[in-house]
Amino acid sequence: MTTQEEQTRAALRFPPGFAWGAATSAYQIEGAVGEDGRGASIWDTFTRTPGRILGGHHADVAIDHYHRYREDVAIMARLGLSAYRFSVSWPRIQPGGSGPVNSKGLDFYKRLTDELRRHDIDPWLTLYHWDLPQELEDAGGWPNRDTAYRFAEYAAAVHEALKDHVHTFSTVNEPWCAAFLGYASGEHAPGRREPENAIRGAHHLNLAHGLAVQAMNARRVGGCVNLYAITPATGAERDLDAARRIDGLQNRFFLDALLLGRYPEDVLADLGMDLGFIQPGDMKAIGAPIDVLLVNYYSRFTVSGEPGGRASAAAAPTDTASPWVGSEHVSFVNGGRPVTAMGWEIDEDGLVEILTRVAREYPPIPMVVSENGAAFDDALVDGRVHDRERQAYVEAHLAACRRAIDLGVPLQGYFAWSLMDNFEWAWGYGKRFGLVHVDFETQERLLKDSALWYAEIIRQNRRHEPTDS
Ligand code: IFM
């Protein structure tokens, strides 16, 4: 082995028990939207609305995971994963978002988690990855406070049914996206452009998290945030203010709520709106203790207070408004780094920065990187996908995780986004994030080079782990 290879191996050596994972979400992979009593979700409606999804794609079939879950779990086992993060489709469990549970919907997740456990893969269950039952949207969606209470009931029902199958439950995936892309920019379902309702929605998503934590009383429960490293374009006052604002809306609005039970005063002041919907007792509920923080990380933003620049870090696929409620004047500038196929700048140092920041500025909390990965324009040639850029991305970010651990961050796992190519929201099937290539016509799965490499890193790390046999 060369010295270079030895250094790479050392940079990717993790403590025993580190969770080696990959992640997916229900709407992006399951398909089977009309089967076994599943109700309609806001994404079923949104994908049917002309102009909302690139290419007019929908996820009625997606990658057919609902029927192919055994094959997919076998792939996870082949990779050597010790953990798998997936989400439950709320409209499968309660077709209209409230009332009695649909046992056929729950049965699917029982079968899936049984299969995972048969392969010694720890199921990490996310309750909400954006597929709100359409009936609840018709009643007002997340800006309607009642949705938070319906979510807590749903969470309790899923927990009751699956608590013997699942050790770690988490609540809402990336509440920033659900609130601000769903209700301010309109890039995501339900596609509304109502800035004040986006803030109400953000608060009710946080409330839903807190009420669900209390309602489940689970053995291990987590909250999930998507965090960005943020840099001002220059040292000028207006750029520093832009960075404070975007950091406030993207990061601190959720971190402070979940981990400190309050909203940052400066962010509330930036919003300049009536906040009467934050009721007494809400913040205490939102700050209910959790056992683990799930951190999704992809990129760094460089921001400027100079008006007239780009309204977001990368181009949106459809016509959208600004998601940055109260800070619409902020522009996003090129930070000069290489980008992925999404146009997202690659910056693994940003991951060290945010993990050490959470460890330094908030009460002690174990963390996992619950999503990290990249879309690239993969080419399938002679039965292989030589996705060196994706491998380099994951390698750099894993090494960043290792550095964060060395700096004292209680980081307990890493979940690559995504296990398989899938439906990338407004981009339809146009962006591939998978370690595993999927032929969207035949549904054939094929391990990309990045998957084979990840499997080898996992094998080297897990080979000294005790086995049951
Ligand atoms: O595909 C999404 C996922 O659903 C949530 N986090 C970001 C991923 C890539 O855009």
DSSP string, 357-383: HHHHHSS---EEEEEE-------EETT
For position 468, what pLDDT does the model report? 55
Residue 4: inside a domain, yes or no?
no
- Would you give the end-to-end CA distance of the chain in angstroms? 32
Residue 130 Cα: closest atom of ligand 1: 4
Asked whether residue 1 is domain-assigned, the answer is no
**Predicted local distance difference test score (pLDDT) of residue 469:** 44
**Tokens (6 digits) for 284:** 């205490």
Q: What is d(CA 20, CA 83) in angstroms, rounded to the nearest whole number?
A: 6
Q: Which residue, among 101, 91, 98, 159, has the nearest Cα to 126 in the 3D structure?
A: 159
Q: Is 344 annotated as a binding residue?
A: no
- Whether residue 129 is annotated as binding a ligand: the answer is yes
Work out the burial of residue 469: count CB atoms within 10 Å of its CB; fewer than 13 is exposed, 13-18 middle, 19 or more buried.
exposed
Taking the CA of residue 422 as reference, the ligand 1 atom at the shortest distance is 1
Residue having the nearest C-alpha atom to atom 10 of ligand 1: 424
According to DSSP H, which parts of 362-463 are helical? 388-406, 449-462
462 Cα distance to chain centroid:
25
437 falls within a domain: yes
CA of 52 to the centre of ligand 1 (A): 17
Active-site positions? 174, 371
Which CATH number is 430's domain given? Answer: 3.20.20.80
Angle, vertex CA 183, rays to CA 420 and CA 295, nearest 5: 45
Closest CA to 74 of 439, 419, 380, 373: 419
Q: Is residue 469, in this structure, part of any structural domain at all?
A: no
Contacts of 3 (CB under 8 A, 6+ apart): none
267 Cα–ligand 1 center, Å: 25
Of all protein residues, the one whose alpha carbon is nearest to atom 2 of ligand 1 is 424
| Count of the separate structural domains present in the chain | 1
The segments of the chain whose pLDDT lies below 50 read: 469
Output the residue whose Cα is nearest ligand 1's atom 9. Answer: 424
Distance CA 153, CA 282 (A): 17
For residue 240, give its domain range: 10-463
Residues having CB within 6 Å of any atom of ligand 1: 25, 28, 174, 296, 371, 417, 424, 433
Of 159, 172, 173, 174, residue with least CA distance to 219:
159
Q: Is 265 annotated to bind ligand?
A: no
Asked if residue 2 is part of any domain, the answer here is no
Is residue 152 classed as helix, strand or coil in its secondary structure?
helix
Inside any domain, residue 44:
yes
The protein residue whose alpha carbon is closest to atom 1 in ligand 1 is 424
Residue 197 inside a domain? The answer is yes
Q: Is 43 annotated as a binding residue?
A: no
Q: From ligand 1's centre to the CA of 198, what distance in Å?
A: 19
Distance from residue 175's CA to the centre of ligand 1 (Å): 12
Closest protein CA for atom 5 of ligand 1: 174
Decide: 247 and 264 in contact? Cβ < 8 Å.
no
Report the predicted TM-score, pTM, of the whole model to 2 decimal places: 0.98
Total count of residues recorded for the chain: 469
Tell which atom from ligand 1 comes closest to the C-alpha of 373: 9
Q: Are 166 and 125 in contact (CB under 8 A)?
A: yes
Q: What separation in Å is there between the alpha carbon of 296 and the centre of ligand 1?
A: 9
**Two tokens, residue 231:** 């840099």
The answer to whether residue 124 sits within a structural domain is: yes
Ligand 1 atom at minimum distance from 371 CA: 6
Is 424 part of any known ligand binding site? yes
